Amino acid sequence: MIGIIDRYIAKLFLGFFLGGLIVFVTLFVTVDFMSNFVRSDAPFQSIVSYYLLSLPALIYQMMPVACLMGVVFTLGSLGKTNELTALFASGMSLARVSVPILALVMLISSVSFFLNDRVVPILNQKKNYIYFVEIRKQPGLYSTVKTDRIWYRSGNALYNIKTLQADTAKAMGLTMYQFDSTWRLAQMITAQSVSLQGASWDLANGTVTIFPTDTNVPLTQAFKQKRITVSEDAKDLQSSGQSTDSLSLKELARFIKKNKESGLDTLRYEVDYHSKFSFAMAAFVMSLIGIPFSVGKARSGSAAFGAGITIGLAFAYWAFYSSGLTLGRYGALPPLLAAWTPNVLMAGFAIFSLIRLRR
């Protein structure tokens, strides 16, 4: 009998969860398309490919609010039809009724976390290529980012950068190859550190090597400080800098270690690293929050009321969660606390509400 009830509740939750996920993803894609591409002359096939590649990441981002909607509508539906009252009368507690729902939420979160770490970064790199090269038609803004190096092309110049910190406009380990019109190497510039100031780059502790056409002997001269002027598209290298969305956890950990060894500030990346773990628990925390609110008003439950609860709780959670990450990125909180404090406090609030509900 208990197994039948669990399967019934689980089936009900999955229906509302999948329905909410489809609605939220569709709304986001529609609004994004109307805002960015409705008047664009980009090839239709490129736009379709862009959104198809964006879909897994978008689904992962919408997972918590879809789980919350599934909880609110499932318990609200059981309460409205008095099935919840019957379950309580049979000796099942609210915690026991919620077990199949929370178990499914944990399963969904675990699978989506694994896919987000292994699959989404690869798709994000392909999506960025389509966006910069095929849609915006500015291939210079697309940098091929690896965990150990950044390769970037601008005109007849190739830039090889060991580490790039876009928010502070600093780079370490620059090698610039300048070619002539026939793509013969004409000059090579290296620098230990670079300060990126728009089209003017200030280089420190490097060398300039010139490859003359009349001799096979290159000429090299060292410098302590040197300013170079880069082309218009190369100055936008910062805007296409390292994004944590295109890195797996393992790659991001190596990236942070490498930046620390280079003397760069890694605070933002450390917050992003810990937030990848904390976000995986967002669906569970939001589902936990939804239980006391949906049960407390179960008999007045309508579709509009359930949607209102979902939107209100989701907005409150995301405001709190985003504030925590912002405080972490500005150094007001350690990265670990910045990522996890919102989850811990919101989960504590949910448990407190459940205890009060029992009274």
pLDDT averaged per 10 residues in sequence order, the chain, 359 residues: 86 96 95 88 92 95 94 89 88 90 96 93 89 77 54 81 74 90 90 87 94 84 92 59 77 83 79 95 93 68 65 87 92 94 92 78
Q: What is the pLDDT, as a whole number, of residue 81?
A: 86
Tell me if 274 sits within 8 A of 336, measured CB to CB. Answer: yes
Q: What is the pLDDT, as a whole number, of residue 145?
A: 46
Q: What is the pLDDT, as a whole number, of residue 259?
A: 74
Interatomic CA distance for residues 71 and 28, integer angstroms = 21
The CA dihedral of 129, 121, 64, 266, to the nearest 10 degrees, is -100
Q: What is the pLDDT, as a whole number, of residue 142?
A: 62
Q: What is the pLDDT, as a whole number, of residue 20?
A: 93
Neighbours of 347 (CB within 10 A): 16
Q: What is the pLDDT, as a whole number, of residue 157?
A: 87
CA neighbor of 207 nearest in space, from 194, 220, 225: 220
Interatomic CA distance for residues 74 and 97, integer angstroms = 11
What pTM did the predictor assign? 0.77
Query: What are the percentages of helix, strand and coil residues in the chain, rounded to 5?
Result: 65, 15, 20
Interatomic CA distance for residues 95 and 89, integer angstroms = 14
Q: What is the pLDDT, as a whole number, of residue 152?
A: 75
